[in-house]
Structure 1
């Protein structure tokens, strides 16, 4: 890698997530922080796809160009930013029957938003009956959301209970690879060890049927 470059983890990761949700990837592209290139990539994808997924470029910095490029391509914004962690800078826009979802650039944020928002849309768009694949269990350790945001907490479902993973930062991709699913912890909520909770399995874990 040259200075300033990073490996593309989000592209292969999201392509695999789309496949796990029953979708088909028709094209993929990587673009730099240039508005014209971003516009051209969005416009080209929208010409053939029902859903355009982007990763990164949806926050508030000078290189966050997806919203402006989407508007130039004819997409009308539906929402921007969600009071949740991880995944606050989520962007959604529509152009006729085509949906654009601008996922955050951090890998865990991108995949968390995909599981919670994009996966259900793919199921509905394909006309499939949707199932969140919930499981119930008792927390092995306490969790809390104290910062005014909903927390999507990655967890493992083990024989002795539901275990929140230790590293919940939005760049810690290894934790989401180990997680069976996630808890939705509402703002200003604390759950004690032993509390009965409902977790959502990730789409790629649902067929593996983790132990209850």
Structure 2
């Protein structure tokens, strides 16, 4: 038996992973708005997007449609670009939905190969260039950038290498971050300058009169 060779997809680990739910879907061919992403399906073996589910109703009601990953041209910060209107399949007419719903992984623990729990999954974000899993968001707000080739995705546990323990990042509120402190200090300086300017103006007004 000849083993099938799958060429590895090039990864850019500095690329920001993006969420999919709620994004507007626009077609490349017609420039038409199809609807908003309602649910996401992942291929747990390839660790990449397999399909998206959407509805034309902004409230998520009404008839549901499916778009397979091969018909997605681009994942942008605000909009998802699909090839054309014909790529949207009515869910009622689909023979099967490829992959596993993202919702299946929500609440699943991420555990290292030595048995240390890193957190509980709240969301999974994808790399725009290849639609592969790029980042796991935990329920407590912490984040973990992952290499899809190094993780195992199961419906009961997601396994990662032991060195991922040091890769969990705490999302710091802006007020606590360096940039937040600098902006806060800048606001203080501006307020001080404004107050001093007013005081000088009042003093000059009294002196003149």
TM-score normalised to structure 1 length: 0.24
Q: If each structure's strand is expressed as a fraction of its own residues, which one has the higher value?
A: 2
TM-score normalised to structure 2 length: 0.24
Query: Which structure has the bigger radius of gyration?
Result: 2
